[in-house]
Amino acid sequence: MCREGALHTAILRHVTDALNPLPDSPALPSHPVFTARGLSKVYHTGELDVVALNGVDIEFNSGELVVLLGPSGSGKSTLLNILGGLDVPSSGQLSYRGWDLTNVDEHTLTLFRRNCVGFVFQFYNLIPSLTARENVALITSIARDPMTPEEALDMVNLGNRMDHFPSQLSGGEQQRVAIARAIAKRPEVLLCDEPTGALDITTGITVLEAVERINRELGTLTVIITHNASMAQMADRVLNLSDGQVVKSRRNETRLPVRQLDW
């Protein structure tokens, strides 16, 4: 997995062939996981330029659980997608563990995504004709040092649903399969874009408990985008985006267990 000692192995073997250390940062594990400096993203659509990110300076540290809030269109998904190598910034710098991610080729980004990042989206994107176990196995079959699908599904409390198809699972259960799929490769980073956006509160809680457990037990840096401000209390740190900028960053002295959140 992409953590500490193993980080070196994973990165050196699979990512750094094409990732260059920044000149002033010797790529040590003590670096923040991500460092963004002046990160900007402008989408050109027809005549129109849309500034989605406008000079974001931010760091994300190992093992943190970060909640990202902000109005629709403020750039939350854009930031998450750039962190996870799904999109590239227009300007500015982004480093992962001291390695420059900004100007790398698609092959390197693919390796980075495959080895280091798990994604969870609002809609679960499971393959309907595969069981929960098979959906997770698709990923574990191409990962280095993965968990077994059974271990991953146990972590999200779905040990008794492994042979169910998505259509035989509730929304919350499907999302937990998606989480198991995301973390089965033991990524250093878990990026969740509105993971409870399509769920009612009770179901959302079971999903967030799975995320919380993974963050706590695996030490996975976890970033969760939400429109639900009450989720802020479960985080180590809460970031507010507005108009493509981080306008507020605060740290919670204590994290509230998901069950105790005031919905």
Ligand X SMILES: Nc1ncnc2c1ncn2[C@@H]1O[C@H](COP(=O)(O)OP(=O)(O)OP(=O)(O)O)[C@@H](O)[C@H]1O
Rounded CA separation 33/195 (Å): 22
CB 220 to ligand X: min, Å: 22
Pick one of ligand X, Mg ion, none as the site partner of residue 54 (Cβ within 5 to 8 A by kind): none
Query: 155 or 224: whose CB is closer to ligand X?
Result: 224
Q: Hey, is 41 helix, strand or coil?
A: strand
**Is residue 132 within 8 Å of residue 164, measured between CB atoms?**
yes
Nearer to Mg ion, 193 or 212 (CB): 193
Measure the CA–CA gap between 184 and 158, rounded to whole angstroms. 13
Helices and strands (DSSP H and E) totals, the chain: 7, 10
Residues 68-87: x where in contact with Mg ion by CB under 5 A, - otherwise, as a string: ---------x----------
70 binds, among Mg ion, ligand X, none (CB under 5 to 8 A by kind): ligand X
Strand extents, DSSP E, 62-111: 65-69, 91-96, 99-100
- Residue 46 or 128: the one with the smaller Cβ distance to ligand X is 46
Q: Which entry of Mg ion, ligand X, none binds 43, CB below 5 to 8 A by partner kind?
A: ligand X
- C-beta of residue 210 within 8 angstroms of C-beta of residue 241: no
78 binds, among ligand X, Mg ion, none (CB under 5 to 8 A by kind): ligand X
Whole-number minimum distance, CB 40 to ligand X, in Å? 12
- What is the DSSP-derived secondary structure letter of residue 120? E
Considering the complex, what minimum distance in angstroms separates the CB of residue 57 from Mg ion?
21
User: Which of the choices Mg ion, ligand X, none does residue 161 contact, using the CB cut-off of 5 to 8 A by kind?
Assistant: none
Give the residue from 237, 198, 250 showing the smallest Cα distance to 63: 237
Please report, as residue ranges, which positions from 222 to 251 form the binding site for Mg ion (by CB under 5 A): none
CB of 77 to Mg ion, least distance (A): 3
CA distances from 28 to 153, 159, 222, 225 (A): 33, 37, 20, 28
30 or 45: whose CB is closer to ligand X?
45
At which residue do the structure tokens 């992409």 appear? 2
Least distance in angstroms from the C-beta of 82 to Mg ion: 13
Spatial separation of the C-alpha atoms in residues 244 and 69, rounded to whole Å:
12
Query: Considering the complex, what minimum distance in angstroms separates the CB of residue 26 from ligand X?
Result: 33
Residues near ligand X (CB under 6 A) are 43, 45, 50, 52, 70, 72-78
By the criterion CB under 5 A, which residues form the site for Mg ion? 77
